[in-house]
Structure 1
């Protein structure tokens, strides 16, 4: 099987592949993906191709605030990022998009950045109070400690093995 036959099989597979999302172009820079509005913020070297994006998009990306797509060796690769205000790791924030493009994308390759205008907001976990709210909890732990057998003192069970050192002057010959 030669290279051209393999490429034909790949193209045939792409045509029969089920799409995970209903993607419609509203205008030049706005998309509607599964009912959510997205804005095309940046399109470097005409990197955004609707057909290729439809074949690659997965609904997992709907909870990200930003989607970066870069093309390398004819393949579209997508990566999601969150807004800087969210409590996530630094490499997943919007401010890390430029670093991602520099570090992981091919130099000069086309890429695009989509902004999800209706991203699902993550609920921040509440901070736990340092104060113990259940006062009965302390009395239960005390009862458990009272039932434990008492330890024997170390002096009774083991002989004193501390060494004693004395400082001597060095004899000069």
Structure 2
């Protein structure tokens, strides 16, 4: 198969692909994706192209506070990040976006950053719900486990003692 035939096949599949999101441009820097408002805060080298973004976007990205898109070898790659106040791993926080761009993106490549204006807000840490425990039930289980458990017997030494024995002898006199 020739390279030109492969490219044509890829283009026809891209056109036939069903879009997973309803994306509308509100103004130059604002998008509405599945009812959520997004603000385009960084657009380096005009990396944001609406048609390419529509083909790549997946609704799973609506959970993230920030979406970073970088273009390498003609492909758009998306990665989601959370706000710094969220209780997530440090490599998923907004402060690590720059590290991601340096480590995983081509040098000088085009990229963009979208901010989800309607991302779920940070919830306060609530105390975990505790259930009342039935103490009688726990005690009976503990007693049963101890009663049924066989007692441990000391193990016999199976290996012979390989210590050398030395005796001190007096030198015979000349």
Normalising TM by the smaller chain, what interval?
0.7 to 0.9
**Superimposed CA distance per residue, residues 110-131 of structure 1 (whole angstroms, 9 cap, x where no aligned partner):** 00001111224586685587xx
- Note if 1:55 corresponds to 2:55: yes
Q: Whole-Å Cα distance in 1 between the matches of residues 122 and 142 of structure 2?
A: 37
Match of 1:145 in 2: 146
| Equivalent position SS for 1:26 | strand
Q: Whole-Å Cα distance in 2 between the matches of residues 57 and 5 of structure 1?
A: 26
- Superposition map of 1:88-167 within 5 A: 88-120=88-120, 127=128, 133-136=133-136, 137-152=138-153, 154=154, 158=156
| TM-score w.r.t. length of structure 2 | 0.78
Please give the root-mean-square deviation of Cα atoms over the aligned residues, in Å: 3.2
Match of 2:172 in 1: none
Over 3 Å counting, the alpha-carbon distance change for 1:109 and 1:149 in structure 2 is: closer
Count the aligned residue pairs.
164
Q: Whole-Å Cα distance in 1 between the matches of residues 13 and 156 of structure 2?
A: 78
Give the unaligned 5+ runs of structure 2.
Answer: 169-174
| Equivalent position SS for 1:48 | coil
Q: Whole-Å Cα distance in 2 between the matches of residues 59 and 103 of structure 1?
A: 26
Q: Whole-Å Cα distance in 1 between the matches of residues 126 and 5 of structure 2?
A: 53
| Equivalent position SS for 2:27 | coil
Q: Is the contact between residue 62 and residue 120 of structure 1 (CA under 8 Å) also seen in structure 2?
A: no
Q: Is the contact between residue 47 and residue 71 of structure 1 (CA under 8 Å) also seen in structure 2?
A: yes
Over 3 Å counting, the alpha-carbon distance change for 1:94 and 1:4 in structure 2 is: same
Over 3 Å counting, the alpha-carbon distance change for 1:9 and 1:162 in structure 2 is: closer
Deviation, structure 1 residue 148: 3.2
Over 3 Å counting, the alpha-carbon distance change for 1:72 and 1:125 in structure 2 is: farther
| TM-score w.r.t. length of structure 1 | 0.78
Deviation, structure 1 residue 60: 1.1
| Equivalent position SS for 2:149 | coil
Give the unaligned 5+ runs of structure 1.
Answer: none
